[in-house]
Chain A
Amino acid sequence: MAHEHDHHHDHDEDHSELGEMELRVRALETVLTQKGYIDPAALDVLIDTYQTKIGPRNGARVVARAWADPAFRDWLLRDATAAIASLGFSGRQGEHMVAVENKPGEHHMVVCTLCSCYPWPVLGLPPTWYKSAPYRSRAVKDPRGVLADFGVALPDDTAIRVWDSTAEVRYLVIPQRPAGSEKLSEEQLAELVTRDSMIGTGLARPPAS
């Protein structure tokens, strides 16, 4: 019954662990396919989707539009699900979106302390650290310590707001638009928007001078 007991003890090297996981997953895929529960071609489409189609560049487009277009920014803050859908991003793990905006003196950070809830349509799959114990345990209690792990130091008088995604609402941080980016096109602006800046563990990049 408890497979997870069988596979984590006393591995001297990562290679045996990886080989073992590979075999377990293959065995499972084989049985599920033989039983007709899955379409193996659907697996390839799912993987390709999250490897090449749905990722943080989607969110960067949303943020760049918000920076460039005040009406879109207002819509995004009022009804993020609809505003984001207007750019073609919607669905699984982004059904109910809320956007929150960083400003001077106010910084937002998103976490899921209970599992790994994350806005897939705009950011793709969560990075390993987002799903891991150090981030999930500390983000709600020591956000400045977490930011330091990312090399980010905020002014002492910046108030930090942490959003713990405990239900099916998913959060997107709109980072502050960097100084010196006034003349950039929306496309160029999107290049300044990092994944971490949309989680709140980073800042947008300054434009190349």
Chain B
Amino acid sequence: MNRAMSYTSFADLGGRAGFGPVVPEPEDERFHADWEPRALALTLAMGAAGMWNIDMSRSVRETLPAYARLSYYQIWLAALQRLLAARGLVADDELAAARMLYPPRPVPRVLRAGEVAAALAKGSPTARPATSTACFRVGATVRTRDAEPQGHTRLPAYARGRVGTVERVHGMHVFADAHAQGLGEQPQWLYTVVFDGTELWGASATPGLRVSVDAWEPYLEEAA
């Protein structure tokens, strides 16, 4: 099989048709099965172990071939199992046996019950000190790049190759594309870029619609 193909995300849904109506849900509904909170907690606890970062998780989730057929917590669980297998932490036959068959590997951290509140309150800020000058200012006209993604990216397909306006400059942030590939944080300037609905969807766009994305500088070029 030819491995040098472009990267396919099954999660990039903006603007696609045929998924039917949105089904609202009451505010006090949190989970829909007993295993869902466990799957959430396992994902958060293993995320805190420091064997991968959130962008790696997103990359594994969005490339699951069964993405479209799985519920959201099923996606999380499948991605967690893939990451555990890929890092040599849990083998598939251990899950089938429902017990440890091979010795554990060292992990950088184990999240203890007493540390949860502080860990959640701290979070994982992605802003980094500026080490360069931003290429674009508020009000600049920019065009998003139109290349087929070669890996995890946060520029949605519907916003590729479109002309928009820089509306906010958020400082430098960890660059998801690099971070997801294990290439380090490589912070880049992050901007909110707003597009007119007609630029994205043509003349039939909802009148008055504007849509923004948050785009790192490598996604952008000056619009001629």
Which chain A residues have a beta carbon within 8 Å of chain B's beta carbons?
Answer: 1-5, 7-8, 18, 21-32, 34-39, 41-47, 49-51, 54-56, 90-96, 98, 111, 113-116, 124-125, 127-129, 131-144, 146, 149-150, 156-169, 194-196, 201
Which chain B residues have a beta carbon within 8 Å of chain A's beta carbons?
Answer: 9, 11-17, 19-25, 27, 29-35, 37-42, 44-46, 49, 58, 61-62, 64-66, 68-70, 72, 74-75, 77-78, 80-82, 84-85, 89-90, 92, 94-100, 104, 107, 110-113, 115-117, 119-127, 154-156, 158-159, 168, 170, 173-174, 176, 190, 192, 194, 200-201, 205-216
Instruction: Tell me the smallest distance from the CB of A56 to a CB of chain B, in Å.
Output: 6
Report whether B120 and A91 are in contact in the complex, using a CB–CB cutoff of 8 Å. yes
Report whether B35 and A25 are in contact in the complex, using a CB–CB cutoff of 8 Å. yes
Can you show 15 pairs from A to B with CB atoms below 8 A apart?
Answer: A8-B69, A24-B35, A32-B46, A37-B107, A39-B112, A47-B37, A47-B40, A96-B170, A127-B29, A132-B22, A132-B23, A136-B14, A138-B19, A140-B200, A196-B27
Hey, which chain B residues are within 8 Å of A160, CB to CB?
206, 208-210
Hey, which chain B residues are within 8 Å of A93, CB to CB?
123
Q: How far is the CA of A36 from the CA of B96 in the complex (A)?
A: 19
Report whether B116 and A42 are in contact in the complex, using a CB–CB cutoff of 8 Å. yes
- Known contacts A36-B110, A42-B45: A131-B72 contact under CB 8 Å: yes
Report whether B98 and A95 are in contact in the complex, using a CB–CB cutoff of 8 Å. no
Hey, which chain A residues are within 8 Å of B41, CB to CB?
42-44, 46-47
